[in-house]
Amino acid sequence: MASAVSTAASSPTPDPFTQSFSLLLSNGTPVKISVPDLNAFILYNVQICINYSSQLGASLLLLVVLLILTRSEKRRSPIFIINALALAINTTRSVLQCLYFTGPYSDVYAYFAQDYSRVTTSAEATSITGSVLTLLLLICVQLSLILQTMIICTTVRDLYRLCIAALSVSVALVAIAFRFALVVENSKFIINAESFSSFAWLGSATNITATISICFYCAVFITKLGFALRERRKLGLQQFGPMQIIFIMGCQTLIIPAIFSILQYFTDIPEMGSNVLTLVAIFLPLSSMWASFSVENSSQASSSPDSHRKFLGSYSSGSTSTGSTSKPPNGTPSPTDTTFTHTSHTALPSPITATARDEEKDLEAQPSKFDMVGRESIKR
Digit-by-digit pLDDT tens for the chain (380 residues) are 445 545 545 566 788 888 888 888 888 888 889 999 999 999 999 999 999 999 999 999 999 988 888 878 778 888 889 999 999 999 999 999 999 999 998 899 999 988 888 888 999 999 999 999 999 999 999 998 888 778 777 777 888 888 888 998 999 999 999 999 999 999 988 888 777 777 888 988 998 898 888 888 878 877 877 777 777 777 776 666 666 666 677 777 777 887 888 888 888 788 888 888 998 889 888 776 666 665 556 544 444 445 444 433 433 333 333 333 334 344 433 333 333 333 333 333 333 333 333 333 334 444 444 444 333 334 44
Contact 211, 276 (CB under 8 A): yes
Name, in order, each residue with C-beta under 8 angstroms of 286's C-beta and a sequence gap of 6 or more. Answer: 62, 249, 330, 333, 350
From 184, 152, 140, 146, select the one nearest 167 (Cα to Cα).
Answer: 146
Q: At what angle do helices 35-69 and 78-101 cross, to 10 degrees?
A: 160
Helices (H) and strands (E) in the chain, counts: 10, 2
Contact 129, 191 (CB under 8 A): no
For residue 51, the number of C-alpha atoms closer than 13 Å in the C-beta half-sphere is 24
Instruction: End-to-end CA distance of the chain: give it in Å, rounded.
Output: 37
Three-state DSSP class for residue 346: coil
- The DSSP letter of residue 300 is S
- The DSSP letter of residue 21 is E
Full-model pTM = 0.72
**Distance between CA atoms of 134 and 51, rounded to whole angstroms?**
15
**Distance between CA atoms of 227 and 238, rounded to whole angstroms?**
14
Three-state DSSP class for residue 24: strand
Three-state DSSP class for residue 75: coil
Contact 326, 368 (CB under 8 A): no
Three-state DSSP class for residue 352: coil
Please report, for residues 74, 112, 167, 263, the alpha-carbon distance to residue 145 in angstroms, rounded to integers and kept in the order given. Answer: 19, 43, 13, 23
pLDDT at position 64: 93
pLDDT at position 258: 79
Name, in order, each residue with C-beta under 8 angstroms of 57's C-beta and a sequence gap of 6 or more. Answer: none
For residue 356, the number of C-alpha atoms closer than 13 Å in the C-beta half-sphere is 31
Signed CA dihedral, 38, 44, 50, 52: sign only: negative
For the range 241-246, what are the long-range contacts, defined as Cβ-Cβ under 8 Å and sequence gap of 24 or more? 241/294, 241/295, 241/298, 241/301, 241/311, 242/291, 242/292, 242/294, 242/295, 242/348, 245/287, 245/290, 245/291, 245/294, 246/221, 246/287, 246/291, 246/348, 246/349, 246/350, 246/351
**Distance between CA atoms of 73 and 335, rounded to whole angstroms?**
12
